[in-house]
Amino acid sequence: MYFILRLLGPALAALLLVSCSSTSGVSTPAAIAGSPRSSSPAGGLDAASNRPGLATSFGETRASRAERTMFQRERVDRPLLVQTLRYDDVAGLEAAGALQNPRFGALRPRELVAIALLDARGRALPLFSKGFFAPEAFVAARKGERYSILLRNDSTAKLEFVVSVDGLDVLDGKPAAYTKGGYLLAPGQSMRVEGWRTSLQSVAAFRFGAVADSYAEKKYGDSRNVGVIGVAVFEERGSDPQPRRKAEERLRRRADPFPNSGGFAEPPGRH
């Protein structure tokens, strides 16, 4: 069972979940969970001050009100799906060989959800893919730019979105895990995750910056998971999420153009 925070305001039609279940004995992949820091010589090649590319800093305060409610997952530590987005500047993506296949719009894993990174004006950041059988998703970013994570529920059921940035959970700023809570969206709802939650009223904005200035490095001295965003999606207990567009298509196929061929038109409210 989970305690949930309902986000308030016209642009924040979502719910924020805070897990009250134990996380002991649960393992999570590196793309979602933080990992213990390894020792390295001061000033080594893997030192944050020597690393090129981008990470996410703990930015300015932005209003984001929330309140508590309840939610229950079908499986506590087994997501319905997991989506990973890797981000860096253009030079970093070029070094990774990730600039050959440009994509447009949002990622739509299994057509159940939509996920994208947006700039401060709400425009989708450039998206690229690498690989064929299990393509990785990459986002081109710019230093100093504020961004948000767009989440949309394109399914027929409520879905919970557990989100991590640089290996840190966006709700408590600690190493991320599947058993932590996330944002709950009803069918057809969308929202922007604009930063790490600092209270029921505000978040600290996501801003692209140097690795040495990242929240992960400043808070924990650990920058090994920077440059990656993870979204784990969970279904509600007893539900069977299906793509809303396909469900709508099935309904439209069954639509009868002549459900009642007799009689005359009557005013609304009369049968």
List, as one string, the DSSP characters of 186-249. -TT-EEEE-EEE-SSSEEEEEEEEEGGGSHHHHHHS--TTTTEEEEEEEEBTT----BHHHHHH
Residue 148 CA to chain centroid, in angstroms?
Answer: 9
Which segments of the chain have a pLDDT < 50?
1-3, 9-14, 18-42
Run of H or E including 253: helix 244-253
Q: What are phi and psi of 249, to 5 degrees?
A: -60, -40
Q: 3-class SS at 158?
A: coil
What is the reported pLDDT for 271? 58
Alpha-carbon gap, residue 5 to 171, rounded angstroms: 11
End-to-end C-alpha distance for the chain, whole angstroms = 45
Tokens of 214: 């990242």
**CA proximity to 231, closest of 124, 117, 70:** 117
What is the reported pLDDT for 257? 85
pTM listed for this prediction: 0.81
Q: What are phi and psi of 92, to 5 degrees?
A: -65, -40
Alpha-carbon gap, residue 45 to 214, rounded angstroms: 17
pLDDT digits (tens, 9 = 90+) for 123-179: 999 999 988 877 899 999 999 999 999 999 999 999 999 999 999 999 999 999 999
